[in-house]
Amino acid sequence: MNHLLRILIVENYGTQADFASKVGTDETIVSRVLRGRRTLPADKQAVWAKALNCTIPDIFPEQ
């Protein structure tokens, strides 16, 4: 589980649904990424990092 990513989403957007809307994806995708059941391609990782004002390694250190 990606705890830092979850914290940043809540702090910046309040809900996974609001974050999903911001980055142009479905809330289900956000949930699966947070639980480690789905990975994102590099271009989507960049979109998420930009929306959260951080770098890709900050929120996806294993990739």
CATH number at residue 45: 1.10.260.40
Mean pLDDT on 33-51:
97
pLDDT at 2: 87
Averaged confidence pLDDT in the chain: 95
pTM of the model: 0.92
Burial of 5 per CB tally in 10 Å (0-12, 13-18, 19+): buried
For the chain, the domain total comes to: 1
Inside any domain, residue 62: no
Q: Is 14 left (phi over 0), alpha (psi -120 to 50) or beta?
A: left
Inside any domain, residue 60: no
pLDDT at 47: 98
Question: What is the distance between the alpha carbons of residues 63 and 51, in angstroms, rounded to a whole number?
Answer: 18
The parent domain of residue 46 ranges over 3-53
pLDDT of 63 > 70? The answer is no
Inside any domain, residue 39: yes
